[in-house]
Structure 1
Amino acid sequence: MLGLEAIRRTRRQALGGVFLLGVAGVFVPPLAHAHFILVTPDSWMSQDSLGLPEKLGPCGDEGGGTPTGKVTVFHPGQAISVTIDEVIFHPGHYRVALAVNDRSELPVEPTVTPNGGDPCGSAAIQNPPMFPILADKVLPHTQAFAGPQTFKVRLPADVTCTRCTLQVLEFMSSHPAPCFYHHCADISIQAAFVSTTSTTPPTVPAGGTTTATRPCPTPRCSVEAVVQGPACGADTIPEAIRRKLERAPELLEQAETSHPGKARVLRKKAKRLFERAGSAALRASRGQKPKLSAGCAASIKDTTDRLAGEL
């Protein structure tokens, strides 16, 4: 049998253990909730430094923000840039969907399968994605990002709208339920776009009203307008020239979300690419076996000269 002092010592140890467990329970930090900011396209709602509002679907509808009224213009089939800034990390990935007429068309949140003690163990992935989902399991990660992340999503080639909704959904594992955060952007998908270098006069219908076409609002739109326009429609643009024409707008889009020093570097690189693309187009139209028609080369050169001059 234990002596009296041994019994007292055992009780003190037991009580000490209980106290330590209680203290540990008090100071266990709560699970952090991940947050992200939708950088581009412009969000339909203002966001604070943590990305709020974003908790209530489909678009961060819990209140607390102010509608921005911003609508970003794209065109059918365009590969658009989406930039997010995950300001509080959790493992997971992103999904992008499009509602054309009403936000009720946005797909429901995917089915979540708990894993052990994690109620947000994994989420169902649509692979390949089917409309209205445009991309799924984007930016899968298990560690914090070093900064804002940009990825490409291609819009449907057969969809136009004046005000539709692009939803960016974040799935978070190692997280208490609910397992999703939401942001949306109001976008417009316009079928017609023209190069600002076009010399075609506006059409005057029988009624006498002039129909004017809206100039392209972005360098990417201007490039795609000339590449897909009447001057180059019958040409196969050499891959080296096409790469320059695609890369330059990408750099300018990155510059929009970069700090001033990096933005200047990106714009200089884009300017050089535009200049090289224009010169290469002219060279490709010369010689006994030209790779480009003279009209297409001139149209590319005019457009790239204008875009480079704006930088």
Structure 2
Amino acid sequence: MEYYRPPFNITNIMMMYVSSISEKIGELNVLHNLDSKPHLRRNNRIRSIHSSLKIEANSLSLRQVRDVIDGRMVLGEQKEIQEVKNAYCAYEKLSETDPYSLEDLKKLHGIMTRYTMEESGNFRNGEEGVFNGDQCIFMAPPARMVPDLMKDLFNWMKEEKASVHPLILAAVFHYEFVFIHPFSDGNGRMARLWHTALLTEWKPVFAYIPIESQIEKFQEEYYQAIARCHTAGTSDIFIEFMLRQIDRILDDILKETVQEGEQVTEYVKRLLNVMEYDIPYTAAAIMERLGLKSKETFRKHYLAPAMELNMVEMTIPDKPRSRNQRYIRR
């Protein structure tokens, strides 16, 4: 049966980025074994969630998003807090999601929008447009066309996944999904989540690469690329934009990896070895585990350097000298 095929052209710029990204992923796997660094995986996941929600005008800060995920009390709008909980649950389902299954996409949309909209997990019934703030970029196809357009998109992906590079295929999907705008809410969040899902099947490390944070930095360009593709009739501009952002975020992660390796002293390594993740410790408890007596030695050589590297954080950052202060390994 004939179905809609997304129009795009593979350019030299795309192939240059595909080659560069593939090389950096290989280097990342050698230098930065994320399987042995759960704190980095978790930090990047939280960055992804915060940025993806911020693009959709969620006002919670990165620290507030972290606190919601950690089960701490956060003062904020209930809908925004629920969006964080939903997004975390959705991203945690990536490992058991088939990115070529339309039913899995609808299931994750149900998780992503739970308790925040009536049509959660179902295609829209009304007409929608793609907006950047108050500016309408374009009107989406009529609601009656959505089921067939989504089936066509997934059929195309299944047929072409062996011949179109995953980096390009994921970007094509992202643009086409935004264009179809299949749900009444949560389309941007789902487009970015599914982009990650497709890349994760290719290279599992993408589950913990915060592409969303890079999009957020260049949010205006993101929407401009979508609008220009709508005018041009192909997704070429958007594909190149996404590949460029992925290439940039990999540069940042590799740079952080090298810096971390250079700056982590033996003192900090000892400190991290005696602290379990996400468990709050008093300074006295950590010193006892390290066998230290001098508070000055502990502060100068162990705690302060670890906090500068964002490997340990205070539970009460606004009151560093509080008697209730605790320290958590990130």
- TM-score range normalised by the length of the shorter chain: under 0.3
After TM superposition, the score normalised by the length of structure 2 is 0.26
Larger radius of gyration: 1
The structure where strand makes up a greater share of residues is 1
The structure where helix makes up a greater share of residues is 2
After TM superposition, the score normalised by the length of structure 1 is 0.27
- Higher relative contact order structure (alpha carbons within 8 Å, sequence separation ≥ 6): 2
